[in-house]
Amino acid sequence: MPNTKAPIAIAVTEEFCKGCGLCVAVCPKQAIQLADRMNSRGIHPAHLAHPEDCTGCTHCAIMCPDACLRIFRSE
């Protein structure tokens, strides 16, 4: 039987992220957080802090005003 729940990864284009936190607020599983580190612009970018909790719902990518997040499912 094939795996119906493929692993999920979220790619954040950190240099474009402005750290607004909208993706953090909309995540139903609180899997996304703002990073402790800063990008080259001095902003704490979003990152997938708890990949095991991510359901791949894409709410974060839809909410991002700068299209910084992409969701991937691997086989």
Reported as a single tens digit per residue, the pLDDT across 16-65 is: 999 999 999 999 999 999 999 999 999 999 999 999 899 999 999 999 99
Q: Where are the domains of the chain?
A: 8-73
Whether this prediction's pTM lies above 0.85 is answered by no
Of the candidates 57, 26, 55, 56, which has an alpha carbon nearest to the alpha carbon of residue 46? Answer: 26
Predicted local distance difference test score (pLDDT) of residue 8: 84
Confidence class of residue 73 from pLDDT cuts 50, 70 and 90?
confident
- Mean local confidence (pLDDT), 2-27: 86
| Least reliable range by pLDDT among 8-12, 16-20, 66-70 | 8-12
Higher-pLDDT residue of 24 and 9 is 24
What's 8-73's CATH class?
A: alpha beta
Contact status, residue 43 vs residue 35, Cβ threshold 8 Å: no
